[in-house]
Chain A
């Protein structure tokens, strides 16, 4: 038995989304009051109901959210941001105390990861050991919120208002990572990877050892860009190109191939809007008008690291 499960954390998220929807529904000057409130309600239901509702129902809820977003129904309300002067005033009053809640989140994550997963009395575990990172993060965020309210003297209403202000800045792009993960899942089920691996293996002369390395690393990066996820690319490209050519045909070292191959995939992650949680959501969080600004900053990095990976693998994989 586990006392704190990850489902409980998802339920907290769901409840907070209901609060957000309620706030929006009560906002008379919100330009898309009912559409936005419905969107956040549906998202809350998918968070709370994932283990109870049939997947097909969640699927149709997701479609409803996509339609609401595409029809321009999910927008932010009138913003009531505080003035800079007011914030400077608070900063002078609170001084470094304002940092403590922010630093409490990583501190809880460290302590949580090291200790929480180990605490148990017989069969009763405090937290789900497999999900300890996520649970520690959730507990850290809630603890930090309580400390932040004490430090600043703000009440629950203010915290919920600030949270909903930021969530509405993100808007529908908040669910983009999950949508893209779902697309990646469908790609995998449909066998898109096998087609890509087959095309690469046919198109290049993998009988030459260094060409096989280039095809494998390139395949990892390209297919990661398609899937938005290096993990999904790994099994497909390693099974289709890496194992048959680098390891079996040319006798390469599988550990070196896998380690550097996965890191080549990460270079693809840096380049693709499909990896929305790493590339697009940050651009929204940082309020950049150009959604692709983060990817643009990462292009030179990704190309340099990818080239280094290919050279490293060419030099190392057939030597050890």
Chain B
């Protein structure tokens, strides 16, 4: 039970809004000591896992110079011009279309998109422009909602498409786990049984995107007609 002290520290630290890095370090030290490791052993573990997970940071750092440069030369502004020409475009539809592209491509084994490479420079500005329509202004609450849903679409497409492709981490990890237990479980079967959830996840995203559009419409209606409620 004492080993759960790290979990408790994380929960308390996040709730009290202490610097997140500090909370994580404290939780690591506390858990390590509770399990009987020495300080040097814990430091070596932190160093090893920190290095092993450099792949998490690499795409962001390498993507930012090109994204920053394109933004400076009007990438967002151009995306807004294009999206305004399409009458059917709404914030929800833009995000849902991106979710579909992301989910289908990764289920075929191709990882494109990402928060730094696609959501910030393209998807979020396009969705915002679609919501603005012809010249209207958006409340800051609507902007936050649109951006957060764009990030959610990236995650949903990524997570719930990935497990359909047999050569990716998740399926291979499960296969390896069963092999270590002396069981032979087919990768095809595991990929197949991921498909129903993939459809449900996309349907759930469709529902959220519709709701997002309705909320934006309602907020805009209140704005253009502030006395309407009386």
Contacts and interface: CB of A to CB of B under 8 A. Distances in A.
Interface stretch (B118-126, B129-137, B217-225): B118-126
Nearest to A110: B110
A91 B207 CA distance: 34
A122 interface: no
Contacts of B205: 301
Interface in A109-163: 109-110, 113-114, 133-134, 137-138, 141-142, 144-145, 148-149, 151-152, 154, 158-163
A266 B160 contact: yes
Interface centre among B20, B144, B189, B191, by most chain A C-beta atoms within 10 angstroms, is B20
A114 B55 CA distance: 20
B64 A297 contact: no
Interface string B104-132: 00000111110111111110100000000
B197 A308 contact: yes
Contacts of B51: 46, 50-51, 55, 58
Interface string A164-193: 011100101111111111111111011110
A136 B60 CA distance: 14
Contacts, number: 408
A283 B72 contact: no
B49 A148 contact: no
A281 interface: yes
Given A138-B62, A254-B185, A274-B10, A182 B49 contact: yes
B54 A190 contact: no
B84 interface: no
B138 interface: no
Contacts of A149: 69
Contacts of A170: 60
Contact of B44 (A46, A55, A160, A285): A55
Contact of B110 (A60, A113, A262): A113
Interface string A280-307: 1111011011100110111011001100
Dominant secondary structure of chain B at its interface with chain A? helix
A22 to B, nearest CB: 15
A179 B21 contact: yes
A281 B61 CA distance: 12
A199 to B, nearest CB: 8
A297 B124 contact: no
Contact of A288 (B7, B54, B67, B144): B144
A56 B70 CA distance: 40
A266 B201 CA distance: 11
Given A166-B64, A176-B24, A191 B3 contact: yes
Contacts of B229: none
Chain B contact patch, size range: 35 or more
A281 to B, nearest CB: 7
Interface stretch (A5-13, A26-34, A203-211): A5-13
Contacts of B75: 91, 98-99, 102
A254 B74 contact: no
Interface in A236-294: 238-239, 243, 254-256, 258-260, 262-263, 266, 269-270, 273-274, 276-283, 285-286, 288-290, 293-294
A172 B149 CA distance: 24
Given A186-B46, A262-B170, A290-B144, A254 B14 contact: no
A145 B156 contact: no
A195 interface: yes
A301 B203 CA distance: 10
B77 A88 contact: yes
Interface in B12-46: 14, 19-22, 24-25, 27-28, 31-32, 34-35, 37, 40, 42-46
Across chains A and B, which 4 residue pairs bring their CB atoms closest together, nearest first?
A: A162-B68, A91-B74, A163-B65, A58-B47
17 contacts: A50-B51, A56-B44, A87-B76, A91-B75, A96-B82, A113-B110, A141-B59, A145-B69, A175-B21, A185-B49, A186-B45, A231-B169, A238-B177, A258-B185, A273-B20, A286-B119, A308-B200
